[in-house]
Chains A and B, each alone.
Chain A
Amino acid sequence: MIRIESIVIKEFRGIRDLTLNFNGKNFGICGPNGTGKSGVVDALEFALTGNVSRLSGEGRGGISLKTHGPHVDSRDAPDKARVTVTVTIPSLSKTVTIERTVKAPAIARVTPSDDAILAVLKKVQSHPEAVLSRRELIKYVLATPGDRAKEVQALLHLDQVEQVRTGLQKIANACERDVKTLNADATAASDSLLKALGIPTLARDKVLAAANAQRAILGLASLSELTDTNSLKDGLATAEPGQTQRIAKAQALEDIKTARDTLAELTGPATAVLVTTAQNELRALASDPAIASGVTMESFYATGLRLIAAEACPFCDTTWDLTALKKHVQGKIDHLKEVSRKRKVAEETLVPLTALLRRVQSSLETLARHAASATPLLAVQAVKDRSAACSATITTLSAFLPVADTIAGVAGLTSVPRPVYEAIAALEKVVATLPEPSKQGAARDWLVVAQERLDHYRMAKRQQKAATEHATRARQVSDLYAGASDGVLAGIYSSVQNDFAALYGFVNRDDEDKFAAKLKPSMGKLGFDVDFYGRGFFPPGAYHSEGHQDGMGLCLYLALMRHLHGAGFTFAILDDVLMSVDAGHRREVCALLKKEFPKTQFVMTTHDPIWLRHMKTENLISGRAFAQFRRWDVDHGPMEWDDRDVWTEIDDYLKQNDVRSAAALLRHYLEYVSAELCHRLRVPVEFRGDAQYQLGELLPAAIRQMRKTYSSAKDAANSWGQKDEVAEVGALESNFGALATTSQAELWQVNVAVHFNSWDNLVPKDFAPVAKAYRDLLGGFACSACSDLLRITPDREGREALRCDCGTTNVNLKMKPKKA
């Protein structure tokens, strides 16, 4: 995607004004705690994404980018808090500047700007994982399987995959619920038809036989087949206009019995148990206010979460913290999901009650139709009312919300007013008094009722069939999607798992070169077990040390990033991610990054100067591709160990007559640079386990080593017969000796100005020559062309050369081999 060329930070976090030039290469930032390293990381993240995850992650309380992003002295002027990064986009061969202010973090000023550039930067913005701190890193290793899956899925941007999976599941579930309802309707229609036909099972031949028997009585031709559309009463004369519809006596009596049986079931003990169970579930759910929002709100929140992008509310322009808002909304969605689960349980308890109500309603409607055919007309208003009440209750229970209405509906479900029974009894009385129909009349009644119920049955079966087809297809689609996504993700996890194991095995090849790991996706979770010295697979935190876990976190992150971005993994910012890893393994990490990720630019922070040194010796960083922060104060922000700045700063102190500060700075710088010289020149120094070396132990030793090196160089030149070289090295040696003498460094014990902190007795004109002498001395350790400190190569085994990084200085130390 991109490589970072430089960053300019103004009034941002703990930084007042800082410029760092990365030049598109790996870069190390080193300094004690609290010197501003992470401020640079924050600034990089801010410039690229408009966000600072440290100010928006979990447990941040009232901290926000808007309020706490600017330097504390500019907290009321967020427009001054400004970060500018210059990046190159290799795929476009373009260099682009991105500038953001805390006042409007969502707005990036991009120069130059075109669609292709903005597309790349948008992609970068959507990948904040390019910035990795130890806090994030450890999530991949020690998280629970469910949380790890979320972290990895977020890294791989699988939210869309999950959204579709959930959506298809919901559709399949809804279709299956529809089928249940329509199955109940079809069963009721079937029962009703069987009763009318007077047969035990619904088989075509039996239906035809029953119908043809009645048709024969009426002299109608037999039906040879029963199709989905023909009528049992084909050829039967329709009623004359004005002719009253007669009650089919036998069928009416049968229907009255069915209605009484159904009402008895409704008011019986089995239904009472179902009602009690449903009421308990509903009351438990009703106590949660979120149920009122229900699935609609869940959908609303999910949509809102995807659309939240601006820095202010689109309705009222109130500004908000984007990350905090997203977290807030996600919390609501999570809660609603739990509510949704409880709702499903409650809905299941309503299914048998709804089915029973449908049968009651159907049987009462049938009685009402019989009553309407009576002469004189029989009023059965109570039956109609109870039927309507059943219908209303079914609607309420199906809608489910508001829960209070559902609870009330369930509570009144078993109630059957006395007038209902009285109306049924009245109808029964009327039907009983009807004269027995003639054989032909009974046959006619039979065919009319049978066809009416057959029509109803056919419609119910058509609806059932269509719903079943939908449900089958929806489930098949959902299952195929689950299989496809699991398959693709398993492939990804397998690839990542192998790459991770190889990366970790490389770093720990001294004793875990056969290391293996298992990433196991299952039911939305992601298990992670690692081999422990051939004794089996265990969670990373079970037996491995904290340092090993840090290493695992980094290797898993690198494997995921390599898979996610492929060749586009061009940069990553590692913020003190290996603080628990020992020095030896850090060196291996340097080797790993250099070997395995040669096209990725790493910006790495560390409080440990030894690791910075490893980065240099392993050639992970080269030249001046590092910043070494020496201190930080609230007025100035971080200050680097830059020799040019140090001497200017000392001069400034002296101009202000502040000898104490000038001497303190000189001493601190000499401590830092002496350690660096001893490292570069491979100076033998008495070893200290606590690494607390005194200036008096390091600088004189470095001077002695430099003299010895020049002496060795002359010997080497003589052995090759290079007289000019001997003369040149002699001149360098002489010059260096003069500088050392002037600084009186070898007479350290008498150099009271620096060693005994007696600067209170000095005035600027006394101290200035001391500072100049040391500045000149340190110049003697450096290349005259590039000003870099010289170093012995190689850094182990036989000494071959004294050289600088630019190649101008290259003094041979290797003797000509003697002939045997």
Chain B
Amino acid sequence: MAETPTAGEAPDVPAQVFEKFLADLAAAGLPKDMIGRLRTTLIDERAFSDRALRAAVLAEEPLP
């Protein structure tokens, strides 16, 4: 029988995806400032709107 896949409580699948994504961006040599903005947006602020993502990727200030 398979082992219990995770020993800890409730792994956050979105967070797993985001962390892997940020690591892949760094490995691909993308700008650190953009990766930092994406970390803030996805992990810290949990903001997933198109506007927030565009601001993070293209360094565009969100419209007021």
Chain A interface (Cβ < 8 Å from any Cβ of B) = 1, 91, 123, 156-158, 160-161, 163-164, 167-168, 170-171, 175, 299, 303, 470, 473-474, 476-477, 480-481, 483-485, 487-489, 492, 495-496, 498-499, 502-503, 506, 562-568, 595-596
Contact = CB atoms under 8 A, between A and B. Distances in A.
Contact of A171 (B8, B24, B30, B58): B58
Contacts of A476: 28, 30
A171 B50 CA distance: 7
Given A163-B48, A483-B24, A566 B6 contact: yes
B2 A164 contact: no
Nearest to A567: B9
Interface string B34-64: 1000100010001011100110011000000
A1 B50 contact: no
Contacts, number: 111
Given A477-B34, A477-B57, 18 more contacts: A161-B17, A164-B18, A164-B53, A170-B50, A171-B53, A171-B57, A299-B50, A473-B30, A474-B57, A480-B21, A489-B13, A562-B5, A565-B9, A566-B4, A566-B9, A566-B10, A567-B9, A568-B10
B58 A474 contact: yes
A498 B20 CA distance: 23
Contacts of B16: 488
Given A171-B57, A476-B28, A499-B5, A485 B10 contact: no
Grouping DSSP codes into helix (H, G, I), strand (E, B) and loop, the A interface class, with mixed when no group exceeds half, is helix
18 contacts: A160-B46, A164-B48, A171-B50, A299-B49, A299-B50, A470-B58, A473-B58, A476-B28, A480-B24, A480-B30, A484-B24, A499-B5, A502-B1, A564-B13, A565-B10, A567-B4, A568-B10, A595-B1
A126 to B, nearest CB: 10
Q: Which of A168, A481, A496 has the most chain B CB atoms inside 10 A of its CB?
A: A481
Contact of B11 (A473, A499, A566): A566
B10 to A, nearest CB: 4
A506 B1 contact: yes
Interface residues of B, number: 33
A360 to B, nearest CB: 32
B25 A477 contact: yes
A404 B38 CA distance: 39
Given A485-B17, A565-B9, A566-B10, A160 B48 contact: yes
Contacts of B1: 502-503, 506, 595-596
A512 B1 CA distance: 14
A381 to B, nearest CB: 38
A474 B48 CA distance: 16
A707 to B, nearest CB: 45
A454 B7 CA distance: 66
Contact of B14 (A160, A473, A563): A160
Contacts of A480: 21, 24-25, 28, 30
A396 to B, nearest CB: 23
A489 B28 contact: no
Q: Which of B10, B23, B30 has the most chain A CB atoms inside 10 A of its CB?
A: B10
B41 to A, nearest CB: 9
Contacts of A157: 13-14
B32 to A, nearest CB: 13
Contacts of B54: 171
A480 B23 CA distance: 10
Contacts of A474: 57-58
A484 B5 contact: no
Given A91-B9, A480-B24, A562 B4 contact: yes
A469 B14 CA distance: 28
Contacts of A499: 2, 5
A551 to B, nearest CB: 16
Contacts of A477: 25, 30, 34, 38, 57
A487 B5 CA distance: 17
Contact of A563 (B6, B21, B48, B57): B6
Nearest to A303: B49
B40 to A, nearest CB: 14
Contacts of B48: 160, 163-164, 167
Nearest to A566: B6
A812 B20 CA distance: 63
A567 B58 contact: no
A498 B4 CA distance: 11
A179 to B, nearest CB: 13
B42 A164 contact: yes
A473 B30 CA distance: 8
Contacts of B24: 480, 483-484
Nearest to A170: B50
A171 B38 CA distance: 14
Considering the complex of A and B, which 9 residue pairs feature the smallest CB-CB distances, nearest first? Answer: A566-B6, A568-B9, A484-B21, A160-B14, A484-B20, A499-B2, A167-B53, A568-B10, A502-B2
Nearest to B25: A480
Contacts of B58: 171, 175, 470, 473-474
Given A158-B14, A473-B30, A480-B21, A495 B50 contact: no
Contacts of B57: 168, 171, 473-474, 477
A91 to B, nearest CB: 7
A488 B17 contact: yes
Contacts of B7: 566-567
A615 B9 CA distance: 27
A596 B3 CA distance: 9
Nearest to A496: B5
Contacts of A163: 48
A689 to B, nearest CB: 35
A224 to B, nearest CB: 36
A205 B30 CA distance: 35
Nearest to B4: A562
Nearest to B29: A476
Given A167-B49, A168-B57, A303-B49, A567 B6 contact: yes
A567 B21 contact: no
